[in-house]
Structure 1
Amino acid sequence: MKALALAVLATSLVACASTPTVKTDFDPSASFASYKTYTWALKPEASSPLVQQRIIDGINARLQAKGLREAPNGDIALAAHIATGQKQTLDTFYSGTGMGGWGWRGGGWGGGMAMGSATTTVHTYDVGTLVVDMFDAKTKQAVWRGTASGTVPSSPDKVNAAVEAGLDKLFVGFPPGKTAAR
């Protein structure tokens, strides 16, 4: 299960109820119109080979839809990384008000305190981040970076949907200059 979460994380950019958090940055002096080909310098490593392949295939499909094609010694070198980690949230519920209010107390009128109770529940969940870096193959300079982070879903169907949604959001503004998602 942890392996699936790690693999998913890379693209776990989207969970059922949440949308991935996506950030992109680019070198404004890079000439994206001159890039026609790309090559993988470093493919992401995921604990699940199926999720890993879906991420690679998803990135390839989106770049090809933007007019780039994969080739040895491409104009752009791609490097992708996946990171996962756990986060926790605390939910506390109170019963009783903790305040007794004003009223008759044995020998007279007055205020008082009453006991209330609190129950805290800890929720632990996995968060995944996919980082995609692009380098100009000739100059070796970074030209674009995109990150997508989100809660890692627990089921394979939701993982696949999260990968697709995360990649869609990550590449919606690529190449820069066309409504980049910053």
Structure 2
Amino acid sequence: MKTFKILPLLLLFILTSCSSVSVNSDYDKKANFEGYKTYAYLKSAIDKVEISDLDKKRILRSIDESMIAKGYTKSETPTILISIFTKENERVDIYNHNGFGWGWNPYWGTNNTNVIRTQEGTLYIDLIDAKTKELVWQGEGIGYLTKDTEKKDQRIKEFVDKILAQYPPTPKK
């Protein structure tokens, strides 16, 4: 009987530890993305983000790495401004496990309920045309968060890399 109790928890642990980041993006189809070569952060928006300064640094550092890898240059006179926004939700999963009894009596066997609470975070990365101050691209990543300091850098980098993998957009033909 103990195997029936441990197995669902083990499967849940495996699924959540391997869970990836789900990403979406949207963009202004009239924007000329080829004209954007330099970037800077929209400081007024970055200052309003309600996360720890350490996590904020991790996000901005990961964005810098990704943008530089794409050929962009950080500049005092940027063609595009970058802003971020975060949300955090508690996800509650309830698992009801019915054990097996023998015979025809429906009251035989066991019934266990497990409640699993996990933190799920959303990171938005907004790219704003520096001249017109209009939003031209927005990326969103949703996934599980970690409190483990050793894994935070890697998890935040995964969020940022997967979101920015969709930038610049490639219009469907």
Partner AA of 2:151 in structure 1: K
Structure 2 residue 63 is the aligned partner of structure 1 residue 59: yes
Which structure dedicates a bigger proportion of its chain to strand?
1
Amino acid at match of 2:169: P
Higher helix share: 2
SS at match of 1:140: coil
1:68 lines up with 2:72 in the alignment? yes
Question: Which residue number corresponds to residue 87 of structure 2?
Answer: 83
Q: CA deviation at 1:154?
A: 3.1
CA spacing shift, 1:63–1:100, aligned 2, 3 Å? same
Instruction: Specify which of 110, 131, 134 is matched with residue 117 of structure 1.
Output: 110
Aligned residues: 154
Higher relative contact order (CA 8 A, sep 6+): 1
Determine helix, strand or coil for the equivalent of 2:103. Answer: strand
Instruction: Please say if 1:147 is aligned against 2:140.
Output: yes
Matched, 1:169 2:162: yes
Residues 31-57 of structure 1: per-residue CA shift (max 9 Å, x gap):
111111122112263533222101101
The answer for unaligned runs of 5 or more in structure 2 is: 1-15
Match of 1:43 in 2: 46
Could you tell me which residue of structure 1 aligns to residue 24 of structure 2?
23
Question: 2:36 corresponds to which letter in structure 1?
Answer: Y
The answer to whether the 8 A contact 1:39-1:74 is kept is yes
Structure 1 pair 29/178, CA: closer, same or farther in 2 (3 Å)? closer
Give CA deviations for 1:2-32 in whole Å, capped at 9, x if unaligned: xxxxxxxxxxxxx631100111111121111
- In the alignment, the residues of structure 2 paired with residue 114 and residue 125 of structure 1 have an alpha-carbon distance, to the nearest angstrom, of 32
Contact conserved, 1:16 with 1:158, CA < 8 A, in 2? no
Q: TM-score, normalised by structure 1?
A: 0.75
Q: CA RMSD in A?
A: 2.2
Paired amino acid for 1:43: I
Work out the percentage of aligned pairs sharing the same amino acid.
27
Cα distance between partner residues in 1 of 2:127 and 2:77: 13
Would you say 1:32 and 2:33 are equivalent positions?
A: yes
Q: 2 CA distance for matches of 1:16 and 1:121?
A: 18
TM-score calculated relative to the size of structure 2: 0.79
| Rg larger in structure | 1
